[in-house]
Amino acid sequence: MATLVLGALGTLVGGPIGGAIGATLGRSLDSTIIGSPRREGPRLKELAISTSSYGQPIPAIYGAARVPGTVIWATDLKEDRETSGGGKGKPKTTTYNYSVSLALALSSRPVQSVGRIWADGHLLRGSAGDLKTAGTLRIHTGHADQMPDPLLAAAIGARCPAYRGCAYVVFEDLALEDFGNRIPALSFEVFADPATRIVDEIAQQQGLASRRAEFPELRGFIHDSGSPAAVLSLIDRLRPLTALSGKGRTLIEGGAQPSGEIPLLPAAAAWGEGDFGRESGTALARASSPDRVLSALRYYDPSRAYQPGLQRTDALQTTRSAASVLEFPGILSATDAHTLLVRASVRGRQGGETLAWRTCELDPDIGPGSIVRAPSLSGLWQVDSWEWREGGIELELVRYAAPPTASQAADPGRGWSPPDRPAVRTSLRAFELPWDGTGSSEIARRFAAISAPDGRWSGATLYRTSGDGLVPLAQSGRVRAVGGTLIDMLPPSNALRLELSASCRVALLDHSADLEPVTADGLARGANRLLIGDEIVQFGECKAEGDGVWRLTGLVRGRGGTEIEAASGHPSGAPVTLLDERLMELPEGINLGEPGQIAAIGLADSDPVLATLEAPGRTRRPLFPVQPRCVSDGAGGIVLGWTRRARGGWPWLDEVEQPLVEQVERYEVGLGEPENPARLWTVSEPSLALPAPEIASLAALAPGASLWVRQKGSFAVSPPLHLTILS
């Protein structure tokens, strides 16, 4: 507050310079009156990124931890270009993708494994070990038999180090498309040997002995700054340690617990030397404001993806100036952190009461760390230090208070965690659709339905097969087509009207996909079209039944000239695809060859996913005629008639004749099997007259044979329409 007030006042009086002076005075006043919390330990890193600076310390990892890593080798960005599209006057599209290879050191001591990897806060590698983007990852744990990485050895040569004793990872051709074509900020979940015995490890490294120094609450520890003694001092704040000297070796011992008969201090002795106890040999003191009482603990919380957590204690009401925050670079659960903080606060508060004791007797069971009783004083005391003097031994003791044994549950807070979804394989279906009346009627409308089940899927690259190789066509993007399979058999239909009571059940591949109901007007405008097998079906109502299963009712069958397919029905398991804007149209003019296969390759596809083009030639195939007629001419002959339909002419307007679409109007009328007719007529209008003598000769040529008609288009002929049977 004083900072704001004096800063504003100084600005009014002396302008910007006066404001700066006033703000400085205000901060000093605020610090004097309010104070600021005192911090101990290395400051925890809120957000650390990978660096490549010389002299950057590589941390020693104990247990589980999250570290950014240090770049120790890298290549330049590698550019890959891929050209797709083109044909029929359309331009080709060139896509540029970038990748990089790099190595990062994680720990200056061996580790057991590497878990999750984050890139720009999102998961690059999941808990199952799956990379979320293209590339190869190799992990080197740093043991003594570690060999050089093959990529580094190929790039550096015979002088390539093996980095024994240092754990590192190597990314080879890591795709950067998802990170703006730059190297992202990386961090790694590292698992080393259990951190519960970190004191034993450090003591052994320094040539010291240790005993009863386990730290069971510690899940991990990051030693990236400070000496081993500083690390032990940090641990001592939460898990008391005692250093003992004897037999030419120093022993690090864990905090003692009172058990059995508590020893009694020998009688106090007085001598004239020293600063206290010249008459009694003892001195009792109490600090008015203990400066080692912890009020808060910052640590790394594994439930929040190893981000810093904060626990506070209200066991001691302290002013802000007396508050002390311990920055502990260890990995703890919220409950364990709070429990350790409460115990440390109790020890700090009791540590304000000290006892100095002189004695001339030597008890071998009493030394630093021992819990004792003092004659004529209540409670327990713990020996903090001792000093040998000419007249005897001086002991420094602090009041001992048993720490709380019960753990109080603590809330780690709420943090966002990126989804860890496994990569899933690509699903591919390719088909040709009838012409919709837009654009050119001479260009085949071929589509690919590219999708994937629930899971992580970033799209796929589409290819056409060419001999033994693949030729790229386009990138699908992340949008998934909606598709699945038919659960129950769909019975045949005459495809004449809206079937309100008809229904079918479909199982969608992507359970998160939604279907929407439409009105009759929507159906008339072509909404909610499904490709079931080779039949186009519309639905009006839909109801989700769970797990990706939908019941569709109010069906309109045989749309787009697929009445023949509707008359056959569809078995259970038939493919189902929603015909909407999520389909990917194949480039015009490409030659798919035989048997007309395309392929898709996504991140999780170890082999290309192949699909054969369904209903090839459907776009340019004429529709078969309708409304067959056979009338007598009154002289023993017959007149055959039919009504022409047109590709793309789906709105049937009574006052307007159907467009021709084909270059000329031609029909083939045949007798017998369409593949091998006994007689064939070609006419240019939708009728054919057969006089009585010709009928008689035809009946003798092929008795009981069928007369049929089909339209002959510019590129293909339509399926036949039955007209009559000659008897």
pLDDT at 360 over 80: yes
pLDDT interval class at 143 (50, 70, 90) = very high
Candidate from 49-63, 229-243, 399-413, 610-624 with smallest mean pLDDT: 399-413
Q: What is the H or E stretch that residue 702 is in? A: none
- Please report the pLDDT score of residue 32 as a whole number: 46
How many residues are there in the chain?
727
Helix-strand-coil split of the chain, %, nearest 5: 15, 40, 45
Dihedral angle computed from the Cα positions of residues 276, 279, 282 and 285, in that order, rounded to the nearest 10 degrees? -60
Q: How far apart are CA 349 and CA 290, in angstroms?
A: 6
pLDDT at 84 over 50: yes
Candidate from 138-147, 328-337, 343-352, 428-437 with smallest mean pLDDT: 343-352
pLDDT tens, position by position, 654-699: 777 888 888 999 999 999 999 999 999 999 999 999 999 999 999 8
Of 221, 227, 224, 216, which is closest to residue 254 (Cα–Cα)?
A: 216
Candidate from 54-58, 307-311, 675-679, 715-719 with smallest mean pLDDT: 54-58
- Please report the pLDDT score of residue 268 as a whole number: 84
pLDDT (average), residues 184-209: 91
Residue predicted with more confidence, 405 or 726: 726
Phi, psi of 167 (to 5 degrees): -85, 135
What is the DSSP-derived secondary structure letter of residue 660?
-
**% residues pLDDT > 70 (the chain):** 87
Bond before 364 cis per omega within 30 degrees: no
Tell me the pLDDT of the chain averaged across its residues. 85
Of 722, 590, 718, which is closest to residue 662 (Cα–Cα)?
A: 718
Of 508, 514, 515, 512, which is closest to residue 455 (Cα–Cα)?
A: 512
> What is the chain's alpha carbon radius of gyration, rounded to the nearest angstrom?
42
Q: How far apart are CA 296 and CA 333, in angstroms?
A: 15
Q: How far apart are CA 561 and CA 558, in angstroms?
A: 6
Question: Which residues partner with 431 through β-bridges?
Answer: 447, 614
What is the set of domains in the chain, with CATH numbers? 2-34 (no CATH), 69-79+96-184 (no CATH), 197-254 (no CATH), 427-612 (no CATH), 626-725 (2.60.40.10)
pLDDT at 616 over 60: yes
pLDDT interval class at 316 (50, 70, 90) = very low
pLDDT tens, position by position, 229-277: 899 989 988 888 887 776 667 778 777 777 778 888 888 887 666 655 5
Of 250, 255, 259, which is closest to residue 216 (Cα–Cα)?
A: 255
pTM over 0.85: no
- CA torsion through residues 362, 363, 369, 375, sign: negative
pLDDT tens, position by position, 483-521: 999 999 999 999 988 999 999 999 999 999 999 999 999
Of 504, 574, 577, which is closest to residue 543 (Cα–Cα)?
A: 504
- Please report the pLDDT score of residue 40 as a whole number: 63
pLDDT at 85 over 80: no
pLDDT at 174 over 90: yes
pLDDT tens, position by position, 540-586: 999 999 999 999 999 999 999 999 999 999 999 999 999 999 999 99
Q: Quick one: tokens of 346?
A: 């109790």
Q: Quick one: tokens of 659?
A: 């467009």
Q: How far apart are CA 595 and CA 367, in angstroms?
A: 89
Q: Quick one: tokens of 202?
A: 């450090």
What is the DSSP-derived secondary structure letter of residue 289?
S
Phi, psi of 15 (to 5 degrees): 75, -155
Structural contact between residues 147 and 219, judged by C-beta atoms closer than 8 angstroms: no
Q: How far apart are CA 258 and CA 246, in angstroms?
A: 23
- Please report the pLDDT score of residue 33 as a whole number: 46
Q: How far apart are CA 346 and CA 583, in angstroms?
A: 67
What is the DSSP-derived secondary structure letter of residue 154?
H
**% residues pLDDT > 90 (the chain):** 49
Residue predicted with more confidence, 519 or 726: 519
Candidate from 34-48, 294-308, 318-332, 686-700 with smallest mean pLDDT: 34-48
